[in-house]
Structures are given as structure tokens and as C-alpha cells.
Structure 1
Amino acid sequence: MKCRDGQMIPKEQRCDGIVNCADGFDETVAACAELRCQSEQFQCEYGGCVDGQAQCNGTIECIDGSDEKVELCGRRILVRPTTEPPTTAVPRCELPKQPLNGSYSVVSETNTTQTDYVLSYTCDPGFKLVGHSTVLCIEGTWPDKMPRCVQTCQLMKHPSIVYECTEEETEKPRQCNVEEIDGTIVKTSCRKPNYYSPVELPYMHCQQGMWSSGPVCTAECGTLPPESTPLVLRGSTAKFGEVPWHVGIYLKNPKSKKHMQICGGSLISNTIVLSAAHCFWNENTQRLEDVTNYAVAVGKLYRKWYHPDDEPFAQKSDISEIVVPKLYRGVELYYKNDIAIVIASRPFEYKLYVVPVCLDFNEEFSNIQLHNGNRGKAAGFGLTTGMRGSESPVLRVINLPYENYESCLNLTSPALSRYITYDDKICAGSLDGEALCRGDSGGGLAFPSSISGQRRFYLRGIASTSPPTNDQTVCNTHALTSFTSVIKFEKFIKAYWYP
């Protein structure tokens, strides 16, 4: 057993009627209150256990004298103490003042020669107890440091931050609690590799119930894992992490409980996906389909909703809302405004293979990236030959060359050029087999740039339309693909996007 002052004694000596701890703790209410004596023993008022013949035998064997109390024995008898009586009376404790912002209650008043009171302390809401919640007065003396109630700060932890706490009097860091006392110092750092800050993060100080600052790191965007390698053209099979912002859009079958991949999308925050409006549009009713019909998945390499090799990386969610521009009318207006904001029901956690793509609405920067021949990265599970039934079982990636508006019109048949509108579309692809197909719609076209030594991909387009072949097969791999221009929908996106 450990005494209050740190002394160790055999557990058999606890509550046996004999003081063995130098501080007397082994024979107190705090140490003995929950003890149950054996049937042949006598239990003292403070909880200790002594010989069953101790009751009213004229010898004090309980440390509090309860085995020889007048109330128990019915008469006053000459008591033979087990030890020589003290020459002076042990002073009794006086109850302390109630603590500020808290209170105590008297758990017991023992009337012993060792312990007068046992107090239990609690604090008001918004305050935390510093010290032991239970306090004993021993031989007329309270502890040097009495419990006190200190104001606290609520630490609402942000997933982008790593928190380490210290108190002002110590340098050793520890894990932070949800509630920290006044004077606590929090060292903050960005949770790598998924978050960063362009400036040094300040320490947080808990002062009078408030934190001095609330730093938040920015999510890394458009970055690839170090092991990723450059892509091969013409739709090579992707590796985990090669397009970490790609999202699979799935149609749910309520009867079979199966999910069928129908479109793609790009993750721009932990809950927001950009995709194409036509993925969710019913041309017959001229309305969006029911949001409960769809689900999204990130971190996937395989097309199937469930694939065992995906499980360590994939994150899945239902959809809470789908928003398209008010003027979107599908084929009626030649797929103008073909963009959708898809809001996941639960936030995704950024991982090595789940990273949002970067967004930048600066027109000058956009013009630097969008010049003829500059290649952007696209991905999807779409058709691999242009024919139905050739959907790729694994994610495929392709680098498509950008073509300006004039080149795009020159390379597109007059019958299909009406789908390429100057005010909200861009073009990419070539006539030699580099194209996107059905199942790739809604996926992103992202272009790389190195800024301050960091290579990032910036989303410039959302796959919208591509013309069929002359024999009306599903996809023409020898034609350009039109993409909805992201920069043209800055206000629409920013109404929902919180990076």
C-alpha cells in the first residue's frame, strides 16, 4: 500500500488498527471506508478491522477509540490505552473557507485522534480542480496546498493541427485535453503531410477562459505521393495516389443494394466534390434526380464499389446535397453550365492517397497554364475502346493537351461545335486516340505548376461532352473533349467551397 507521503507498507497492515504510515494514512476514513471486515472481526467507525473481542474490553484497539465508546459499551469504563497517552492534546482542525468558484462537502467527521475531517472538493462549470479532490486533516493540520478551482479553456481541436500542451512551470510536453486550465501553453504544428502553413504557427495561451489564438493550417492540395511516377499517355493504369483528388460517383440500386460507377469528380475540400451537372440530370423531367440515389468514394483504384485491395485506402459517403446552376437545362441548352457541387454526408479525412486538388481563380495564372499543347491530367473508369462493355475495372489516367477555342472549333465537326461555347468551355485532347469516354464525365482536368519549389495540380476543367463516332458508337477516341471551365464559375463554387 502507498501512503500519502509516498511511503510503501505491506497491504496487510492497511486498516488493522495500528498506524504504520508515518503520516497515519493507513488508518483513515479515506483508506478504510470501503473495507469490509471478516465476520470474526470488529469494524471500527473509520473502517478499520480489529479483533472481534476488542469491543468493550477496556482496551482501545481501534485507532479512533470507537471500540470503547460509551454509546457502544453503555457505561464508562477504565480504558487502558495501547500506547502511552500524549502529554499534550492533539489540536483539532478548523474547517477552511469555501474555495473560489467551487465548494467542498464534509464527507465525514471522524472524531479520531488522527483525522478530524475528510472533505470532498468540486468546481463550478468552466473551472477545473487543481489538487486532490479529497482532503484529510491529520492531527490538526491541513495539507500545505489545498485544492483550488482554476478557470479553463475549451480546446476545440482542428484536424489540421497537432497539439502539445505544457504548463507554465514545466517544459515537458504532454497530450492536450479537451479542457485545459488557465496558464496552459499549447505548441501547435501542422499535421503533415496533408496540411501546411506558409507562416510559423504561434503558441496558444489559455488566459481567463480564452485562447490567445486559434491557428488553422491549410490543406495540402494538388500534391502527389513521393513514389508516384510520371504517367504514360493513352490511358495507362493508375497507381494509388497518382490522382488523389479523383472521386468516383456511384448510382445506388435500392433493390440489389449494389453501386454502379457512372461519373467522376474532383475533391476540392473534405466534403465538397466538383462534377458535371449532367451526371445527376433527368432529361425527361428536366430536374435533378433524387440525391439519395447517389454515393461517392475517394482513394479508390478499382471501379467496383467494394474491392478488397481498395479497403485500406478508400473512403465512402452518401450525398447530402447536389447543386447545379439555375440555368442548367442539359442537352436543351447544349450542356451549358455543366457543373455540379456535390456535398458528401460526412467529411473525408485527408490521407496520403486522399488529397484535394488546388483551385485558383486568378485569370493571369490560368492563362499561363492554359496554352496550346500544355498537358493536363485526367482520370476515370470510363470506356477503354469506345464501345459499350469496355469500362475499365481500374482507374486510368491520361495527359491531354490543351487546345484554345479557335483550335477546338477547327478540330470539331460543325454539327458538334455548338456544344463548345466560348463563355464556359475549354477543350483538350487530340485526334490520335487521346480522349475521355462515357464514365469519365465529371472528372477533372488539372494542370501542374511549381510554386516555391512545390509542384501542385490546379483544376481547370470538368469533363462535359465529347462527340460520338460516325457510326454512333458510344465514344469517339479521335475527337476533342470539352470541359466546363472552372474559372468561369468562381462565384458559384465559392458559395459552397471552404478550403
Structure 2
Amino acid sequence: MFINNGAVLEINCDIGYKLDGNKWIFCKEETWSSNIGQCLRTCPPIYSTSNMKVTCRHKNQTTENCTDAVDGTLAKFECASYYEDLGLRNMPVHLCHNGLWNQRTPECVPACGQKSVNATSLITEGTTVNHGDYPWQAALYNVENNILICGGSLITARCVTDFKGKIHPRDLYMVAVGKYYRSYNDSRDVNKAQFSSVSIVANKNNKNLYLQEIFIPRQYKGSSQYFVGDIAILVTTKTFTISQRVQPVCVDWKSNYTSELSNLSSNSYGYVTGWGFTSENENPSEELKELKVPLVTYEQCNQNLPEDYEAFLTDDKFCGGYLDQGIGICRGDTGSGLVLKHKGRYYVTGIVSLGSQSPTGGCDSQQYGFYTSVNRYAEEFILEKVSRFKPEDTKMDRQ
């Protein structure tokens, strides 16, 4: 085959390939103007997101985003502040080879269970309480009157664990995170707290009826079944911005640490935070408070419970607290998580459910408190629900 002088050759590659060389070459004096380029197979594109920066390097050229990565391209990943992908610690750079990356694309997710290092300390009744020290603490308010209903724990950027007791699917709720002060509109929380209503889904059979995205275990029947399944998942309409003050708590999704987190011995302590009543006759706390809670065995708890409350110690509950010391959970603390520290991180292990009532009708701080076991519901209930509402991430502007 002969090509006439002056002929122009256009080189195009199939989808999934990139041309390495000139797209146009021409014939001059029986010689091509340059060598014919090669079509090199490309790896799937990877883009930077709001949670992760991707930098690609090939032949001394560096670009953000990997749109046409060919063999030998190196992709470097960096998670944004307060996000992490544990796999990146050992393999922060990936290699494109024969059309495939040698590792899975990282997924930078909010770092969980980490307390703020640079928290500002306050002293409340001799106990040091820190702003931002429990960044997973959530508060649930009634939309109509802005009254605090209960606490909760942020487990993803959109989902909060809570107790079922005072939550009714037809009421309207507002979830707040990053708060330190109890009042809904306390000016001291301005520019620190974030708010979102609980997601609402229209009922297809009745356009005037709205149901919120509140999930409750099937076995929950209230007091008639001694509050078995006293746990709820609330899904917010917005994705919270992860920051120093707003971060999720860890959940042992696959029961990897069940033995450690469920070791209810005299040496085991958890921590509960909330805005509950500081005593039976006083007002609820205006600042977020922390209570160190010793965990007790089933046998020890059952032996010391008032007779009327023995039936409430169901197999999805455990006990914690103090006997005859006037220290314990109270109204306003319900729904908050009890967290245990494991390998430097805090895991939510229980949810404040209920406690004994004093003769005057208030909180009996002389008795143990009941906690719904998170481990009992982690995989089959909590994970199954929250996986439907993975926060959407937005790609950054492509270069």
C-alpha cells in the first residue's frame, strides 16, 4: 500500500485506551512526520471528592484526578481532616497496570470514636468536661416547642442511634450535633452546632400523611414486653459536616471486639454523657455532663434490683452504675450512648434505656441503670438500616 506525499493520518483509540503519541501525522517525502503512537489501556478514572484528594503522576507530570491513567501511573490518596481509610496507612499510593489499579479505590470515611485533642476545658462540680470532647453526642428536639426530648449518638454523617421510649413516628423532630449547651437556640453554640430535621417520606396511599425515617426493631412492644428492643435509628434530611466538634462514634459492626466490649467485670467502665437532671429535685443540666459508669454482671444486677424491676432486665439489656451512692442516669440522659474505650477509640456499647423510680416518682439514683445492648442489634438491625442511607459525596470540579 502506497501513501501519497501530503497524506494526513488521524489516529483514534477505542474506548478504554489512550493514545501515547501524536493524534495527527503526515507523509512528507516518503517519511512520516513522527512515529505512529500506541493505544495504551487505561485504568478506571478516579476523582477527588470533598473527603479525599487524588493526585496522579506519570512521566514527571502531576495532575489532580486520574482521568486517563495508563500503565505506570501512580495515584496518591489523602483523606481530608477528620476522615480516614485505614488501608491508606500501609498503601497510600496505587499503581495502574494493564488497565487495572493494583488496589481498591480508598473510601475516606469519618474517623470514629476519637476525642478532641485541643478541647477547651470547663469545670462543672469538680468534674472536667470538655467542649468537643464527645463529638458524637446528639440531641433530639421537638420541632413544635424546641424542647429537648433525649440524647443520642451519631454513628454516620446522617444516622443517629437513640432509644425508642419517647419517639413517635408521626411527631416532627430536629436532631442537633456539636452542641454543648442544652437549650435549642443557646447563642453560645452558634457556629458550632449543626441541625437537621429527621427525614420524612410521603405515604403513597395518603398524600397528607407523612412518616419519618425512624426505624425500630420488630420486637419492640413497649412496657408490655418490658422494653425489649428499646433502640431506634433516626435518619436526618441533611448530611452533617464532619469537623472537630462533629464526628461519629465507633460501632463494632462485625462483633470483632465483642469479648472485650462485653467483659462486664468490676474493672470495666463506660462513659455516658447527657443533659439529664443532676438530682431528683433540681433542674436538668444546662451543660453537657459526663458520668463514669461501672459495668456490672447480670447476676450482680439481678440480685440487687427492686422486685418490680427484675422483669425489665431482659436478654438485650445490661446494667451499669452505682448502688446507694446517689450517682446515676436520670431524665434527659435517655437515648445517649454508653461508650467504652478499645485500642484508643470509643465504641458505643449501650443506649440509656430506663432506671428505677424513686418513691417520689423521680429518678432513683441509688440503683443501677438499664442499657440496651448495641452489640445485640449492630449487624442485623443497625447496619442493615444505616447502609441504605450512605451519605452522598460530591466530586470536586474536574481539572
Tell me the TM-score range normalised by the shorter chain. Answer: 0.7 to 0.9
Please give the residue correspondences for 1:53-452 in structure 2 after superposition, counting only pairs within 5 Å.
94=6, 96-101=8-13, 153-157=44-48, 161-167=52-58, 169-170=59-60, 173-176=62-65, 179-182=67-70, 184-197=73-86, 199-206=89-96, 211-213=101-103, 214-217=105-108, 219-228=110-119, 236=127, 238-253=129-144, 259-281=146-168, 289-290=169-170, 293-320=172-199, 321-360=213-252, 361=255, 362-368=257-263, 370-372=264-266, 374-387=268-281, 390-421=283-314, 423-430=315-322, 431-449=324-342, 451=343
Secondary structure at 2:300's aligned position in 1? helix
One-letter code aligned to 2:240: F
The structure showing larger relative contact order (alpha-carbon pairs under 8 Å, at least 6 residues apart) is 2
Instruction: Give the match's secondary structure for 2:353.
Output: strand
Partner secondary structure for residue 301 of structure 2: helix
CA distance in structure 2 between the aligned counterparts of 1:238 and 1:132, rounded to whole angstroms: 65
Decide whether aligned partners of structure 1 residues 100 and 324 sit closer, same or farther in structure 2, where only a CA change above 3 A counts: same
Shift of 1:312: 3.4
TM-fit CA distance, 1:210 = 5.4
The AA in structure 2 aligned to 1:341 is I
**Paired letter, 1:416:** Y
Q: CA deviation at 1:94?
A: 5.0
Q: Which amino acid is 2:219 matched to? A: L
CA contact (8 A) 2:12 2:19 kept: no
Counting matched residue pairs gives: 360
- Alpha-carbon deviation of 1:187? 0.9
Work out the CA distance in 1 between the residues paired with 2:164 and 2:346: 23
Query: Partners of 1:128 and 1:250 in 2: how far apart?
Result: 55
- Give the aligned residue type for 2:277: L
1:425-480 residue CA offsets vs partner (Å, 9 max, x unmatched) = 1111223222122221110111223x3xxx2222221000012221113x233332
Q: CA deviation at 1:375?
A: 2.2
Asked if structure 2 preserves the Cα contact closer than 8 Å seen for 1:382 and 1:439, the reply is yes
**2 CA distance for matches of 1:405 and 1:378?**
19
Alpha-carbon distance in 2 for matches of 1:271, 1:156: 23
After TM superposition, give the deviation of residue 495 of structure 1 in Å.
1.6
Shift of 1:295: 2.3
CA distance in 2, matches of 1:235, 1:446: 21
Question: 1:196, 1:181 → 2: CA distance?
Answer: 22
Length-normalised TM-score, structure 1: 0.62
Mark the CA change 1:100 to 1:279 in structure 2 (over 3 Å): closer, same or farther. Answer: same
- After superposition, give the CA deviation of every residue in 1:81-121 in whole Å (9 maximum; x if it has no partner): xxxxxxxxxxxx957334415xxxxxxxxxxxxxxxxxxxx
Classify the secondary structure of the residue corresponding to 1:487: helix
Q: What secondary structure, in the 3-state scheme, does the structure 2 residue paired with 1:469 have?
A: coil
Partner SS, residue 307 of structure 2: coil
Equivalent AA in structure 1 for residue 151 of structure 2 = G
C-alpha contact (below 8 Å) 2:85/2:106 kept by paired residues: no
Q: Which residue of 2 aligns with 1:55?
A: none
Provide the C-alpha distance between the structure 2 equivalents of 1:412 and 1:308, rounded to a whole number of angstroms: 42
Q: Which runs of 5+ in 2 are unaligned?
A: 27-31, 200-212, 391-399
RMSD: 3.8
Q: Counterparts of 1:488 and 1:412 in 2: how far apart (Å)?
A: 22
Structure 1 unaligned runs (5+)? Answer: 1-92, 102-123, 282-288
435-444 vs 231-240, which deviates more?
A: 231-240
> Greater CA radius of gyration, 1 or 2?
1
Look up the match of 2:397.
none
